[in-house]
Chains A and B, each alone.
Chain A
């Protein structure tokens, strides 16, 4: 049951991810990206990380992607026009893609040897309490640094936008 669900949603995630690149209209790409986020959330759920799954839906699918869609709607961006590809892209595109995939496969093989197996639902550290404790004890420094980084980004965005207004 778990494996079947994993296969279904993994395939949906991959198909949506390819669709993001293939679609010519920005809105369709954005909706496909929402599909990727949603299926990722279900994969988290299958691993027993229910809080992460809900946070994934709220933050990525619900807030970040809504902003994307909002900006696309606001700019009223039309479908992209496909221009002629350069010679470099035509020659090197497919080989480079294959090389990249092979590299990723190699590193996954190296970092996670087949003796480490994933058990669906076996991950029990996914409750809100466990996540909160980990964030505020073990990972306190990265957590705080990330929040300061985001704050800097927000302030920077406001400064840039103000300059343009004057």
Chain B
């Protein structure tokens, strides 16, 4: 019992620290990705390649004056960012990152807790997150904020329907609501993953889930709640300092949750795409080694003078990581974690890629798209899946 509490506390601390760092650095990654899409270097000044930029941003946000406008509804104005950030962080607690691991005689799952209604729990937490945005918009007592709040609540209610129905498809195939058991039914190679598995591959459901997920997290092309050229900054116009940062954190945490959900529901979670017999355990080694060698090459043939010292250092770090993956002691927990992060990271990259490419929807297009196309498509997909699962 005591070891259970200690292990749980350690897991909570590790997950919290990793999540917070990821949230901060996701922002850096996003700025870099979009910068390179737009052919410019992105953050470059604070630290090597702007690597200390997130730290500088955090310090800036904490030390800024926390403005409380005189015309706001005070209790709700203060409550709204807390609801937003709490509900978005809550969902991480049921997400499994890897299988059962054994450390020094103790064995534990790489997951904070497994609920037998894990999927429904995440949907519940995300549906409560709407209040943060809606109340922020209303309590600010500002017409732009109110319009942003209204838009976002309408959008989130509408897109929650196709999202939930798209989730039901893989649940029918896997026949469970627990996220851990969900991955358990998809183990054994990419043809067992729900996105490709018979009797009815859930490709449509996966696409619908991703589209609705983009809308749920208020990301481009569905970022109408904060459309800056019409609404100043949308629902968080009146917020500053850490309250503004909480909305920011909530948005990125929601992005991570949606990506993790897509990975777990459709892409087999921590499962490697093919078995270790055919060398799947060597994939991370090869990937990191190639990345390291490319960096070393560019360090030798540098374009900017600064790259001469930064690229070789990163190259050596990547090569060391590649060597670390070869150690048999760490492979048990590092390989599943690598596959989970690779899949989640690919979806997160898609988020950024789309932000760099697509323009924003018009409001009527946004609503028409979900009610006239996405919802019937998701419904049809669920019906076909249901019939085929019952048949076979």
Interface residues of A (CB under 8 A from B): 27, 31, 34, 50-51, 54-55, 57-58, 61-63, 66-67, 69-70, 73-74, 76, 127-128
Contact = CB atoms under 8 A, between A and B. Distances in A.
Interface string B120-144: 1101100110110011011000000
A73 B138 contact: yes
Given A69-B153, A73-B150, A62 B127 contact: yes
A39 B24 CA distance: 33
Nearest to B126: A62
B76 interface: yes
Main secondary structure of the interface of B (DSSP, over half): helix
A66 B157 contact: yes
B115 A50 contact: yes
Contacts of B153: 66, 69-70, 73
Interface in B68-97: 73, 76
A51 B115 CA distance: 11
Given A63-B127, A73-B138, A50 B116 contact: yes
A57 B157 contact: no
A50 B117 contact: yes
B307 to A, nearest CB: 50
Nearest to A55: B120
Contacts, number: 67
A15 B228 CA distance: 40
Given A69-B131, A69-B134, A73-B138, A58 B120 contact: yes
A151 to B, nearest CB: 14
Nearest to B122: A54
Contact of B128 (A51, A55, A62, A69): A62
A127 B175 CA distance: 13
A128 B76 CA distance: 35
B221 interface: no
A67 B150 CA distance: 10
B104 to A, nearest CB: 31
Nearest to B129: A62
Contacts of B160: 62-63
Contacts of A58: 120, 123-124, 127
